[in-house]
Structure 1
Amino acid sequence: MESRPAITLCMIVKNEEAFLKKCLSSVQNFADEIIIVDTGSTDGSIRIAEKFNAKIYHYKWDDHFAKARNEGITKAANEWILWLDADECLDIQHPETFKKALANRKANILSLPITNFTGNHLHSDDLTSYIHYQPRLFRNHQGIHFIHRIHETLDAEPEKMTTDILDLPILHYGYIHEVTEKKDKSSRNKRLLELEAAKETHSPWVTYHLASEYYRDKAYKQAFDYVNQSIYMFLLEGRKPPSILYKLKYDILVQTNSIDQALPGIEKALLLYPDYVDLHFYKGLILFQQADYQAALACFETCLDLRENHPDYLILQGVGSFRAAHYKNLCIEKLNTLDKN
């Protein structure tokens, strides 16, 4: 009989009754064990978790996501650990297929594609989505653990940090405005990030995450200042700034129509990340706004050639497909109009 690896779902939860049932329903045929670390729920979250036979542990919240997640790891019994938030769910049709795939993986950490939805309301017709890959499945009992107070990530001895990709999609609804507003996520996140930023030596990632929080609040000036600080901090450390920083920077410039100085900078960013479809798309938007339709057309054609399957990047859905095609057609229309004149 073919072996199937056993999987433990580990979560931290507080007042998540709006999403928890959907989340746990999505994993009930995939996870063999469910560990819930509850940090003080006063709603129906515990009752919902109990209906899924979850093992529930109470944890006094201490403003540190990594510590709470690590508490869950200590309770997990199985070979693999999947971690999710309550406002996420697996988009899975054939759980056994993925469990078989796990049996053949050599890596200790697997990155899964996450679709992050943004917009005003959960059921809006105009939801925007972004795809990125994040380490969400890892082997238990290998010393792999979480670090960082907020925006926690996995860490271990270098030889344990072997990675691979598993195309098991996760859907994330936590960035939708009505969700963040109800939970007041922005205030909480900025408070925790500012605690980290107050340290004399803090990671440039902390500054980037502050930029992201202000961006989601549409406080673009603060966001722009923070993302530039983060880029500078990476450079001071002798490291190439990650691609996601440049995406945020030029997204802000496009959103605020601040394109005068954007083109030389985005050209430099593309030298660092020549296959990043989002940067080509933003370059195309900048050129389009400058009425350089021929050059913009070339950018959108490049986007369509690159497509959107790039696990190393955060991708706005459509920049390598329907969005690029839309602007390609607009460029052609503009050029045809100019020819007629």
Structure 2
Amino acid sequence: MQSPTLSICLIARNEEDVIARCLQSIRPIADEIIVVDTGSTDRTIEICQEFGATVLRHEWQDHFSMARNYGLEQATGDWIMWMDADEEMDVDDCQTMKNLLPTLDKDIYSIHLINYIGATVQTNESFHIAHARLFRNHKGFKFQFSIHETLNVHEVLPDQDESQIATLPVKVYHYGYLNDVTYAKNKSERNITLLLKAIEAKEPNPWLEYHLASEYSRMKQYDFAFKYVNWSIIRFLSEGLTPPSLVYKLKYSILLETGSIEGAWPAIDKVLVLYPDYVDLHLYKGVILHQLGKHKQALETFDHCIALGDKQLNHLTLHGSATFHAYYYKGQCYEQLNQPQEAWSAYRSALNFYPEYEPANLALQQLLVSHSDLHEQPSPIS
């Protein structure tokens, strides 16, 4: 029996610094690589051709879905996987993907997407989520919306709940939100312009206000971010939809960044009724309780984070929410409760998971200045 073929589709423009890494990672499994170039003036096209990719030139029209769909229309594989030029497939998972393809019986699958943030690539500075990336060709799948495009899953599979799409054990790393990349490309400014244009055009995309809030938050313009994240919640509700978990995650992250926690408690408990398994929201709840001086309640919440774990992919989850972040905040609570030994143990547990975690290192050093006898205490349980 002949193995199913795989087309991998990308769009690119002036990606000479990153696209070779992407193409190198997918070359072992791709029967066909299609790159839609929307106007590169650097070596992007040349690099793609060196890797044997089919390069299609497409005039940029401020519409990501148009460019992506142009590539899908040319794909000849039995399966299509879409990626970004600033992504990379895990080298060890290529063989996994190759082995799985002949066994798949659904029309669409998610992969494990790892988004790196901050100044450098670090596992401990990343967000994890399941993301629909692999689907059968000729089933009617296409992209929709001008920016932050998504697949039309509900049109093709009206009975399919996107949150229930099976996730393959395949990791893809996304580097596009590292600080140097966003600054170099003025990504936030570009996205804000396109999002405002889509809102003005009344594009039927309930995610627009969320993405706009996310861009403003990334730029630390929290007043605008908070306004648009609330509009996003209203937009989802007005369309009879439950606001997705990451919308609420953004809202409470903005409140914590600005120190505006007066309205955050007990409102966050209502959100946790909707998403009781979302460890990041439980972490935020614990931080809010801690800042309100409710340290014992906060400790219970951080223990719940640890029990939940941070390996769920059905929500956008910060790596460490159930480990070093939770233990660090436990240490902060214990200090406020004048329990230095327990604080020491919590900080040490945080550092067992992430030895370079600066907040825990600093807190532990300061604690030992005033409680030097803690050096002699038993090692904590990690």
The two structures share one fold, judged by TM-score above 0.5? yes
Cα deviation for residue 102 of structure 1 reads 2.1
Cα deviation for residue 122 of structure 1 reads 3.6
- Percent of counterpart pairs with the same letter? 45
Aligned equivalents of 2:188 and 2:209: distance in 1?
Answer: 15
Aligned to 2:157: 159
Asked whether the equivalents of residues 5 and 99 of structure 1 are also in contact (C-alpha less than 8 Å), the reply is no
Secondary structure at the counterpart of residue 262 of structure 1: coil
Asked whether the equivalents of residues 4 and 100 of structure 1 are also in contact (C-alpha less than 8 Å), the reply is no
Say if 2:125 is the partner of 1:128: yes
1:60-99 correspondence to structure 2 within 5 Å: 60-99=59-98
Aligned to 1:149: 146
Between Structure 1 and Structure 2, how many residues are aligned?
Answer: 337
* One of 173, 176, 192 as aligned partner of 1:190: 192
TM-score, structure 1 as length reference: 0.93
Cα deviation for residue 238 of structure 1 reads 2.1
Aligned equivalents of 1:6 and 1:55: distance in 2?
Answer: 16
Cα deviation for residue 201 of structure 1 reads 6.0
Aligned to 1:34: 33
- Taking structure 1 as reference, are residues 146 and 161 closer, same or farther at Cα in structure 2, changes over 3 Å only? farther
Aligned to 2:171: 169
Cα deviation for residue 133 of structure 1 reads 1.3
Aligned to 1:20: 19
Gaps of 5+ in 2: 343-382
Aligned to 1:275: 277
Cα deviation for residue 237 of structure 1 reads 1.9
Aligned to 1:317: 319
The one-character-per-residue Cα deviations of 1:19-75 (angstroms, maximum 9, x if unpaired) are: 011111111112111101111111111111111101111111111100100110111
Asked whether the equivalents of residues 144 and 155 of structure 1 are also in contact (C-alpha less than 8 Å), the reply is yes
Cα deviation for residue 336 of structure 1 reads 4.1
Cα deviation for residue 291 of structure 1 reads 2.1
Cα deviation for residue 127 of structure 1 reads 6.7
Asked whether the equivalents of residues 206 and 235 of structure 2 are also in contact (C-alpha less than 8 Å), the reply is yes
Secondary structure at the counterpart of residue 98 of structure 2: helix
Aligned to 1:220: 222
- Taking structure 1 as reference, are residues 127 and 310 closer, same or farther at Cα in structure 2, changes over 3 Å only? closer
Secondary structure at the counterpart of residue 41 of structure 1: coil
Aligned equivalents of 1:296 and 1:3: distance in 2?
Answer: 57
Aligned equivalents of 1:31 and 1:25: distance in 2?
Answer: 10
**1:326 alignment partner AA:** Y
Gaps of 5+ in 1: none
Aligned to 1:55: 54
- Taking structure 1 as reference, are residues 339 and 17 closer, same or farther at Cα in structure 2, changes over 3 Å only? closer
- Taking structure 1 as reference, are residues 186 and 94 closer, same or farther at Cα in structure 2, changes over 3 Å only? closer
Aligned equivalents of 1:338 and 1:108: distance in 2?
Answer: 55
- Taking structure 1 as reference, are residues 3 and 309 closer, same or farther at Cα in structure 2, changes over 3 Å only? farther
Cα deviation for residue 166 of structure 1 reads 0.8
Aligned to 1:6: 5
Aligned equivalents of 2:12 and 2:158: distance in 1?
Answer: 28
Larger-Rg structure: 2
The one-character-per-residue Cα deviations of 1:253-288 (angstroms, maximum 9, x if unpaired) are: 111111122112211111111111111000101111
Cα deviation for residue 200 of structure 1 reads 4.0
Asked whether the equivalents of residues 109 and 161 of structure 1 are also in contact (C-alpha less than 8 Å), the reply is no
1:278-317 correspondence to structure 2 within 5 Å: 278-317=280-319
Aligned to 1:258: 260
Secondary structure at the counterpart of residue 323 of structure 1: helix
Cα deviation for residue 328 of structure 1 reads 2.1
Cα deviation for residue 126 of structure 1 reads 9.3
**1:217 alignment partner AA:** M
Secondary structure at the counterpart of residue 223 of structure 1: helix
- Taking structure 1 as reference, are residues 93 and 222 closer, same or farther at Cα in structure 2, changes over 3 Å only? same
Aligned equivalents of 2:144 and 2:157: distance in 1?
Answer: 17
- Taking structure 1 as reference, are residues 338 and 247 closer, same or farther at Cα in structure 2, changes over 3 Å only? same
Asked whether the equivalents of residues 96 and 169 of structure 2 are also in contact (C-alpha less than 8 Å), the reply is no
Cα deviation for residue 251 of structure 1 reads 0.4
Aligned equivalents of 1:106 and 1:85: distance in 2?
Answer: 26
Cα deviation for residue 128 of structure 1 reads 2.0
Secondary structure at the counterpart of residue 263 of structure 1: coil
Secondary structure at the counterpart of residue 214 of structure 1: helix
Cα deviation for residue 92 of structure 1 reads 2.9
Cα deviation for residue 94 of structure 1 reads 4.6
**1:165 alignment partner AA:** T
Secondary structure at the counterpart of residue 168 of structure 1: strand
- Taking structure 1 as reference, are residues 259 and 3 closer, same or farther at Cα in structure 2, changes over 3 Å only? same
**1:297 alignment partner AA:** L
Deviates most, 84-93 or 100-109: 100-109
- Taking structure 1 as reference, are residues 211 and 293 closer, same or farther at Cα in structure 2, changes over 3 Å only? same
Q: How large is the Cα RMSD of the aligned pairs?
A: 2.0
Which one has more relative contact order, counting CA pairs under 8 Å at least 6 apart?
1
Secondary structure at the counterpart of residue 178 of structure 1: helix
